[in-house]
Structure 1
């Protein structure tokens, strides 16, 4: 009678145990990985899972468009025919002497600054600008007032998009965002608006004297 090969059975047992151990480790790692996404709380007290959490992390540290105006290049062909369908964003400023055009963004990567100059923005700056605009669109659409310590002659920045943004900010200041009156639970100007107006104000850099503005183009844009 032939005796069983004990070494063969032992090796098979070892292989089965090893396969089980590897499977257990992989399952544990997968569980830990997915749990780390689903257990991260957001500001509202609810939990984010999967792609929503990853998207949230990306939005917390978006690329910055600060300095976009200095990086932009003059359009090779200055003549420009602005179209309503291409208009992404526009900003005006109301002052005690009247209304001033500030900036308009057009797809794919164009901007018309406060002097009426047509500029080509880098793709990354345009995308970062749009990211801030989209965050501002998600906020309550209302008039915001900043307590900057200046009682009179504060300009009002008006921000508009075709997709829903329609808001104004009185007294914007780089040093403070404290609101004159709390609104919707905010005691300071929401960060997206603080950032967006900072980007908008860059459009005034290097503007020519009023007589040299491309007023014809500015009037075309304001009529859209």
Structure 2
């Protein structure tokens, strides 16, 4: 099958930046100029994606009124950044209009990348430096009410979203139980091996152990050599 050759002019700017941003392992080492250049390229990629997404909203007409106070919209940071018609005076940064990190948004509302990036219209976001390490790349922050609306589109209702969360949690618990059972089986197998009659060599003497004895006070078991005074003590699961 032949592949159509693309010229440089046919490649979208985002793809060009992505190709340029691929890490070269020939110069791996400590942080330096190469790391700064990669960070700059990451920023350019994020900004290119954001600008491309924002352009889709440029021709959306500005509403007359704020949906909270129903007064003329006036100055609105939420409209400028997210096309959300709430004036700056009504914005509730801590609760109703807080910003949610992309990873948290996907976890809380069971959203996939395609739900955020490909489903129309793609959700707008703002970028901020990662507070833990600026070299990790910028964080993408989304507006809470827009995420809630997108979750309703994907799942159909809040009830179905909760059902999907419960199903996911049940699957997680099932996986954890299987891992725990496997661990217990391994421990029991090791204990059975330890319970077999042991032959220990000490100063040319081979110990031969008799029947095990249970010590109720210490919840332990012991075996004594039938030929000398040596005693070994052990526990059982």
TM-score by length of 1: 0.20
Bigger relative contact order (CA 8 A; separation at least 6): 1
Structure with a larger share of its residues in strand: 1
Length-normalised TM-score, structure 2: 0.19
Higher helix share: 2
